[in-house]
Structure formats: structure tokens, C-alpha cells
Amino acid sequence: MTIETATTSDTAAPPPETARKASPAHIAGLALLGLWAVIGVALLGYLVRGFDPGFFAHYAPKLLDGLLVTLELVVVSILLGAALAFPVALLRISQNRLLAMLSFSYIYLFRGTPLLAQVFLVYYGAGQFRPLLEDYGLWWFFRDAFNCALFTFTVNTSAYQAEILRGAIQSVERGQWEGARALGLHDWVIFIKVILPQAFIIALRPLGNEIILMIKASAVASVITVFDLMGQTRLAFSRSFEFQVYLWAAIIYLFLVETLRRVWDRLEAWLTRHLKLNN
């Protein structure tokens, strides 16, 4: 009691706030943020000043069409790639040396070469082998640039996804296998019911990154006359020489990638909610 009164009465006015010393980091940070603000305002001013309603009305719907093509390319190739990645990953970790080697070469080949070169190889290569493809009844598929891009992306992403899946499966602790075996489960049952669910959790983050990489990489489809978002943008630029369309496309791509990243973070948090310590 006495102590309390003593302290309250003894308390002097709080010391005056010392002016925060402007450290070099603080100045640099403010300067850089200021620079971003200037760049942002300049770009916005450029977009607003050069805004032409007629141009916008003509090209905006085309860019949106292109966005749909981009989404179709990415969604379909990611899903088909996932289906293909599964057997590839299983072969990669199989005991059979030959199968493991084959699968390794497949992964190495597609991860080690530029996607752009692969797209050219498939698209122009298919044209060269037209008679052969016609004999096998495959020409209708490879005749279309969109299908060629879809095929290349699928194969390419399957190699990346297989590697992600392999890493995830192998990083599940050995004890999980041993524990499940001790319970008398069959190896396949262990794999599907014990190992895979845990592997998927581990694979979740790299898989999200792979989807983002695919969204960005899908822009190369535009070089073989696929009118995805990038293709429509390049077409609009080549017709109008209006640099603005590239900035519009940049905004759309950034929006797409950021949205996916956030959604994926939520998804991951939701799927791993049972692993959180304090809920």
C-alpha cells in the first residue's frame, strides 16, 4: 500500500521522447519507398494520360480472352502433368535399376533444357513428321499450336512434379514405414494410406511454386502463335505500337500470381491445421 502511494507520488513526468535518430537504414528505406511511389505515380500517369477509350474497348476484351487461354493452358497442363508425374515418380524410386534410370533421364531431359526450345521442338518437329503422325492418326492433335503448347507444358511440368513428389515421398520418415509394418499392413496399403498423405503435405508448398512457375512460363506459348494473354498482348503491340498493353498484361499477370499465392497459403494452412501446436 505504502509502496504504491510512494511510487505514484514519486513518479515524475515521463522523460521527453528523444527524437528518433534518423539512421542510414531509415533514410534509405524512406528514399526507396519514395522511389517506388514516384515510379508508381509515373506509370499510373502514363496509363491515364495515354488512355484511349477506343483502344481500350478494342483490346481489353482480347486480353481477357487471352487470359482465359492462359488459364486453360495452365490448369489442364498442371492436372495432366500431375497424373503423369505419379508413375514417373514411382519409377524413379523403384528398385528396378533400368526403370529408375529411364525415369531419371526423362526428368533430367525436361528439366535441363529451356521450355522455349522444347516448344519449338514439338511444334516445328511435328510439322516435319506430318506424314508419320497422319499414319498414326495423331496429326489432328499436333496440327493445332495450342495442343502443341499444351503437350509440351504437360510433359515439362510432369518432370518437375515427379521430382517434387519423389522428394516428398522420400522425406517421410522411415519410422512411418516401420510402424505401419509392425501393424501388419501390406506395403501398398502403407504407401497409399500412411506415406502418401504425409508426402502430399510436404509437397504442397513446392507444388504451389510449380503452378506459379507454370503460369509465368506459359507466356512462351505466344511464340508459336497461341493467343494466350502474352500472345494477345504482343499482337496488340505489333498492331498499335502502344506500349501500354505490356503494362496492362503485367498488372494482370501480377494479380494472377499474387492471388494464387494467397489462396495457396490459405489452402496450406487449412490442410495442415491438425499439425498446429496451439489452436
What are the residues binding other proteins (CB under 8 A)? 23, 25-26, 28-30, 32-33, 35-36, 108-109, 112-118, 120-121, 124-125, 127-129, 212, 215-220, 222-223, 230, 233-234, 237, 243, 246-247, 249-250, 253-254, 257-258
| Whole-angstrom distance, CA of residue 261 vs CA of residue 205 | 10
Nearer to other proteins, 177 or 237 (CB): 237
DSSP codes, 206-259 = HHHHHHHHHHHHGGGGGGGT--SHHHHHHHHHHHH--THHHHHHHHHHHHHHHH
**Smallest distance from other proteins to CB 191, Å:** 29
Between 108 and 140, name the residue whose CB sits nearer to other proteins: 108
- Closest approach, Cβ 254 to other proteins, in A, equals 5
Place of cell 526450345: 117
Residue pair 195/186 in contact (Cβ under 8 Å)? The answer is no
Integer Cα distance of 21 and 54 in angstroms: 53
Alpha-carbon gap, residue 236 to 233, rounded angstroms:
5
Instruction: Determine contact, residues 245/233, Cβ cutoff 8 Å.
Output: yes
Closest to other proteins by CB, 34 vs 179, is 34
- Looking at beta carbons only, is 44 or 116 nearer to other proteins? 116
* Residue 172 Cβ vs other proteins, minimum distance, rounded to whole Å: 22
Q: Which is nearer to other proteins, 35 or 263 (CB)?
A: 35
Least Å distance, CB 190 to other proteins, is 31
Distances 238 to 153, 163, 227, 254, 261 between C-alpha atoms, Å: 26, 39, 13, 22, 32
Give me the least distance between CB of 194 and other proteins, in Å please.
30
Between 118 and 158, whose beta carbon lies closer to other proteins? 118
The label of the residue with cell 506430318 reads 130
Return the number of the residue (108 or 186) whose C-beta is nearest other proteins. Answer: 108
C-alpha cell, 63: 486480353
The torsion of the CA quartet 100, 105, 111, 115, rounded to 10 degrees, works out to: -130
In angstroms, how far is CA 179 from the centroid of its own chain?
Answer: 35
**Cβ at position 250, least distance to other proteins in Å:** 6
Q: What's the closest the beta carbon of residue 113 comes to other proteins, in angstroms?
A: 4
Strands (E), the chain: none
